[in-house]
Amino acid sequence: MVGRFVHDKLEKGRYKLTSQRAAVLDIMMDNRGRHLSADEVFFEAKTRLPNIGIATVYRTLEKMASLEILHKTVFDQGKYRYELCDENAHHHHHIICLSCNSIIEVQDDLLNSLEKHLEEQGYRIIDHELKLYAYCPDCLQKRRDDSTPDVSS
C-alpha cells in the first residue's frame, strides 16, 4: 500500500521493498500525525510479522530517514522519533504540551522573515526546526476545572 511517492524514492536508492520494510512503512502510514520511536514500531511490527527483528526495524527506519521518506527527530532525549515526511516540500513544526506531553503540529510558517534576514547576512538556510513548549487548551481547561470546587457535591 505504499504510494508512488515512497516507491519512487525506494527505486532511486535501488532498495527492495521487502515485507519487513513494507510493514514498517505501513505502520508509519497508519500512524500519520504521530511520532513513533523504534521500539513502538517494533512492538507494532511484531503483531504483523512475528519474526521481525529489532535490528531490521532500526535499519529500516534509518534507511527511510536517509531517503527522506521519514523524518527523524528527538523530542525528549535519548530516543529518536520518526514520522512520515510531508510530501509537499516544507515540513511542519511542533507544540509540546508541558503538562500532558502531547505533540501538536503547527503548519503556520511565519519564519520566512527571519530566514530572509539571515540570508541577507550570508547564510544559506536549508531547514529549520521549531519546538514550542506550551500548555495545550485541554490542560489549561482541566486546570481551571480542578481549581473550581464542584458545588453540587
Strands 93-97 and 81-84: unpaired
Residue list 81-110, contact with Zn ion (CB under 5 A): 83, 97, 99-100, 105
CB of 127 to its own copies, least distance (A): 4
Residue list 108-137, contact with its own copies (CB under 8 A): 108, 110-111, 113-115, 117-118, 121-137
Residue list 19-78, contact with DNA (CB under 7 A): 19-21, 37-39, 49, 51-56, 58-60, 62, 78
In 3D space, the residue among 45, 4, 7 whose CA is nearest the CA of residue 28 turns out to be 45
Which residue carries 527511510 as its cell?
64
CB of 12 to DNA, least distance (A): 13
CB of 103 to DNA, least distance (A): 16
How far does the chain reach from its first CA to its final CA, in angstroms? Answer: 54
Quote the DSSP letter at residue 149: -
Can you tell me the distance from the alpha carbon of 113 to that of 43, in angstroms, rounded to the nearest whole number?
42
**Which residue, 5 or 123, is less far from its own copies as judged by CB?**
123
**Contacted by 100, from Zn ion, DNA, its own copies, none: CB < 5 to 8 Å by type:** Zn ion
| SS3 (DSSP) at 144 | helix
Contact mark string toward its own copies, 16..55, x via CB under 8 A? ----------------------------------------
Can you tell me the distance from the alpha carbon of 29 to that of 33, in angstroms, rounded to the nearest whole number?
9
| SS3 (DSSP) at 93 | strand
Distances (CA, A) of 112 to 93, 118, 127: 13, 10, 11
The site for Zn ion (CB under 5 A) is made up of 83, 97, 99-100, 105, 136, 139
Q: Which residues bind its own copies (CB under 8 A)?
A: 74, 77-78, 80, 95, 98, 106, 108, 110-111, 113-115, 117-118, 121-137, 140
